[in-house]
Amino acid sequence: MRYYPAFLNLKNKKAVVVGGGKVAERKVRLLVKAGANVKVISPDITKPLKKLREKSKLKHVNRNYVKRDLKNAYIVIAATSSAEINTKIAGDSENLVNVVDTPSEGNYIVPSVVNRGPLTIAISTEGTSPAVSKTIRKEVEKHYSKEFTHYMRFLEVMREKAVAEITDSNKRRKFLKSLASEELIYIVRNQGFSAASEIISNRFNRVTNEKSY
């Protein structure tokens, strides 16, 4: 294993994306979703990026890259169409930097991701074959359908309710553990979120209505 797998908290962190094309657009969307303060450096940007700019989701610097653009950046993405410029950005950066197309020039890589609400599954071949990562991602997406988005958000609510209303620590721990059972995962996958949520709600009601002696 050449890379250490990790999830970064980018909330309010400065993120600089150099480039304004489709690749940069995909990177920016993820950074915005993660809550980063995004700055895009490029003379031209895509229409979707312009819309994000209009919504104040990013700051756009309408010119070519210069080294000072990276000052105080927590994370940097070099996504221009010029390999020479991308290499320069990688050399200028003192923090986390990702170089599209040639990830070996940076110090981190971006995995292929399946997102289902709070559930995020990241797939990486460490740059060996992005195509394989994409194929596996598609398989995982089928295995974990959009029903899991509803399920995971429901679990967030049920966890809060359990912490607030199940006062017996042993019962609370047992209930929370049951939410991750293979049985429930199977039900979500084969019968849907509604069937699983009904079972959980009934379990919760039984636990909260039990008398402690």
Structure confidence by residue, pLDDT tens digits, 41-91:
999 999 999 999 999 999 999 999 999 999 999 999 999 999 999 999 999
Give me the mean pLDDT over the 85-110 stretch. Answer: 93
What are the structure tokens assigned to 100, written together? 């599209």
Separation CA 21–CA 42 (nearest Å) = 9
- pLDDT tens for 177-192 read 999 999 999 999 999 9
150 Cβ contact partners less than 8 Å away, ≥ 6 residues apart: 117, 193, 197
Separation CA 132–CA 87 (nearest Å) = 25
Mean pLDDT, the chain, whole residue set: 94
Instruction: Enumerate the domain spans of the chain.
Output: 1-110, 147-209
Give me the mean pLDDT over the 112-130 stretch. Answer: 91
* pLDDT above 50: residue 162: yes
Task: Compute the CA torsion angle 101, 102, 104, 109 (nearest 10 deg).
Answer: -20
Count of alpha carbons within 13 angstroms of residue 30, beta-carbon side: 19
Separation CA 40–CA 33 (nearest Å) = 15
User: Is the domain 1-110 a CATH 3.40.50.720 member?
Assistant: yes
pLDDT (0 to 100) of residue 205: 95
pLDDT (0 to 100) of residue 3: 86
For the whole prediction, is pTM greater than 0.75?
yes
